[in-house]
Chains A and B, each alone.
Chain A
Amino acid sequence: MAWYNEQGKMTDTVISTRVRLARNLVGYPFPSSLDSTSANELIEKLSSPLEESGFRKIHFSDISAIMATSYVERHYVSPSFATAEGPRALFLQEKPDLAVMVCEEDHLRIQSILPGFDPESGYQKAAAVEHRLDREFDFAFDEELGYLTHCPTNLGTGMRVSVMMFLPALSASSCIGSLSVQLAKLGLTLRGAFGEGSGSIGGLYQISNRLTLGYAEEELIQALSEAVIQIAERERRARKSIRGEALEKLTDRIKRSEGTLRYAHLLSGKELIRLLADLRLGISLGIVQGIRQEQLTSLLVEGMPATLTLSSENAPRNEASRDKLRAQKAQSILLGG
């Protein structure tokens, strides 16, 4: 079971938590200046400790484009890793979800992904992998600058913690702009997901730490956690403040969305994201019953084009047949609850 099929904490307002640690080995240039021979050597070196710890190796130069894209949709690798050329490998372990990209921008990108809100255990899980590798390899480190990375924005801890939040009520009351300014003062970044710039379809926003140097990991995690808990509280208050006619209208929209998700024959990816947002809000308001938040997260990931296509024995060949498959997927996941 992958992260997107599991139960998590605070799922009324948080979809997922991700923690990533960037590390590099002494004695090799960063991947952008690494030749294929050295890159393969590096992958080989890292294989045995990772495979011994239960990771399976996926050489990205060997897999199909659609498979690579599906790993992006499931949040295990970055788009640039999926579309890059040259030797690179993903080491993957499910439950808890841990993904190690070798030869992305840095030699190692150790990432943990959890459903809901749980930055502490996300960090512990990523750090456990890091400690295992630290026993065998010399990480590039500087007493002043900390862990040395290809991009200076990751120096220090090399850690990025990111929480994907679901904020439909705050987003509707147009508080996101001011929230983003407040967060920036705390060294945190807010960005819309599934949209351009700071916009968002489906009320999904990501909050992450901007600074990596000058603070201990625990301090960075605590600052982010406090902000997330406060925002979640504000979002809940904003949801509760919807009353009267506005609530009637919202209830109607949510029920119609549930109907569409249960009975539509064709569903586009964008429509799916919108419907899932309505249902997620509906569950937390008690308007939708008999559906669990994690079913919606499963569908959010499994309804993505490449992952969806791979899930079917007769791969859909065009958009219409993919939209039909998406509608079928939605109905089977909702019934499964």
Chain B
Amino acid sequence: MLCENCKKRTATVFYNEKLNGKSRSLSLCGECASKLREKGEIQDVTSMIESFADPFWATQDTLFNDFFGISSLPKKAEHSACSFCGSTLTDILQNGKVGCPECYSTFRDALTPLMRSLHGTSLHRGSVPQRQLAVRARNEQLGKLRKELQKALSEEDYESAASLRDEIRTLENGKEMNQNGLV
């Protein structure tokens, strides 16, 4: 986080005050903070954290700057906007931040290569939501049923094929319902 006053040094002092119900907050570097205090522009010294830069929260900013460094803007998708939040690809690339979860699907083609250069990969391997486990299980089940259907058809076992088709249809409808809730 950069100092809001000089925009050069790292902010190490976080100042906030509430005067007559109005709140004001500033992130400043040590030097600017003492200058502003001498000038009397900030007062309530008790609410200042001197030299307090907790890197836990700052880690993100450096990473975020790395992301900024990637300038290979794909040109064609620039004008389309996310149907959920209205962000355009230009917005996302300029801010280095994404508007809503839906944006990741809307701009998948443009974002995936960026994610690959940012993380070295674009494939998640960690934990998944419970709901997603159910989706995975259903997809597996569908795959299995489709294979069985192929087999039944090649063996001209039309009775089994019909019941398999019904089963597949039911599962697929369930999947659609769930994917509407998905991102």
**Nearest CB of chain A from residue B73's CB, rounded to whole Å:** 15
Find out whether the CB atom of B54 lies under 8 angstroms from the CB atom of A213.
no
Tell yes or no: A145 within 8 A of B by CB. Answer: yes
A152 neighbours in B (Cβ, 8 Å)? 67, 96-98, 111, 114-115, 118
Find out whether the CB atom of A146 lies under 8 angstroms from the CB atom of B56.
no
Interface residue count for B (Cβ, 8 Å)? 70
Find out whether the CB atom of B131 lies under 8 angstroms from the CB atom of A138.
yes
Which listed segment binds B: A27-35, A44-52, A235-243? A27-35
Answer whether A65 and B97 are a contact pair too, CB < 8 Å, given A145-B104, A193-B54, A270-B51.
no
Find out whether the CB atom of B57 lies under 8 angstroms from the CB atom of A319.
no
Chain A 258-297 interface residues, beta-carbon cutoff 8 Å to B: 268-270, 273
Which listed segment binds A: B11-19, B142-150, B155-163, B164-172? B11-19
A82 neighbours in B (Cβ, 8 Å)? 14, 16, 25
Instruction: State which of B47, B100, B118 has its C-beta within 8 Å of the C-beta of A66.
Output: B47
| A56-B178 Cα distance, complex, nearest whole Å | 33
**Nearest CB of chain A from residue B182's CB, rounded to whole Å:** 7
A79 neighbours in B (Cβ, 8 Å)? 1, 11, 14, 27, 49, 54, 57
Find out whether the CB atom of A195 lies under 8 angstroms from the CB atom of B53.
yes
Answer whether A139 and B127 are a contact pair too, CB < 8 Å, given A83-B14, A210-B63, A269-B51.
no
Instruction: State which of A66, A145, A151, A196 has its C-beta within 8 Å of the C-beta of B122.
Output: A145
Instruction: State which of B53, B104, B111 has its C-beta within 8 Å of the C-beta of A196.
Output: B53
Answer whether A69 and B47 are a contact pair too, CB < 8 Å, given A33-B99, A156-B119.
yes
Find out whether the CB atom of B124 lies under 8 angstroms from the CB atom of A145.
yes
Tell yes or no: B123 within 8 A of A by CB. Answer: yes
B56 neighbours in A (Cβ, 8 Å)? 18, 20, 75, 78, 160, 162, 206, 208
B46 neighbours in A (Cβ, 8 Å)? 66, 305-306, 309, 315-317, 322
**Nearest CB of chain A from residue B71's CB, rounded to whole Å:** 15
Chain B 25-72 interface residues, beta-carbon cutoff 8 Å to A: 25-27, 29-30, 44-60, 62-64, 66-67
Find out whether the CB atom of A65 lies under 8 angstroms from the CB atom of B44.
yes
Find out whether the CB atom of B9 lies under 8 angstroms from the CB atom of A65.
no
Answer whether A29 and B124 are a contact pair too, CB < 8 Å, given A69-B14, A213-B115.
no
Tell yes or no: B132 within 8 A of A by CB. Answer: yes
Which listed segment binds B: A169-177, A214-222, A223-231? A214-222
**Nearest CB of chain A from residue B85's CB, rounded to whole Å:** 4
Find out whether the CB atom of A29 lies under 8 angstroms from the CB atom of B10.
no
**Nearest CB of chain B from residue A80's CB, rounded to whole Å:** 7
Find out whether the CB atom of A141 lies under 8 angstroms from the CB atom of B128.
yes
| A54-B70 Cα distance, complex, nearest whole Å | 44
Instruction: State which of A69, A134, A150, A208 has its C-beta within 8 Å of the C-beta of B97.
Output: A150
| A192-B182 Cα distance, complex, nearest whole Å | 40
Find out whether the CB atom of A213 lies under 8 angstroms from the CB atom of B122.
yes
Find out whether the CB atom of B132 lies under 8 angstroms from the CB atom of A141.
yes
Tell yes or no: A90 within 8 A of B by CB. Answer: no
Instruction: State which of B26, B45, B85, B115 has its C-beta within 8 Å of the C-beta of A29.
Output: B85
**Nearest CB of chain B from residue A260's CB, rounded to whole Å:** 18
| A129-B25 Cα distance, complex, nearest whole Å | 31
B129 neighbours in A (Cβ, 8 Å)? 134, 138-139, 141
B120 neighbours in A (Cβ, 8 Å)? 211, 214
Tell yes or no: A85 within 8 A of B by CB. Answer: yes
Instruction: State which of B62, B118, B122 has its C-beta within 8 Å of the C-beta of A144.
Output: B122
Answer whether A65 and B53 are a contact pair too, CB < 8 Å, given A152-B98, A153-B64.
no
Tell yes or no: A110 within 8 A of B by CB. Answer: no
Tell yes or no: A201 within 8 A of B by CB. Answer: yes
**Nearest CB of chain B from residue A44's CB, rounded to whole Å:** 20
Give the 8 A-B residue pairs with the shortest CB-CB distance, closest first: A146-B124, A83-B25, A140-B101, A214-B121, A191-B55, A153-B63, A157-B126, A29-B100
Identify the B interface with A (CB < 8 A).
1, 9-12, 14, 16-18, 23, 25-27, 29-30, 44-60, 62-64, 66-67, 84-85, 87, 96-101, 104-105, 111-112, 114-115, 118-132, 181-183
Given contacts A73-B49, A152-B118, A157-B126, 4 further A-B contacts (CB under 8 A): A26-B101, A80-B57, A142-B124, A156-B124
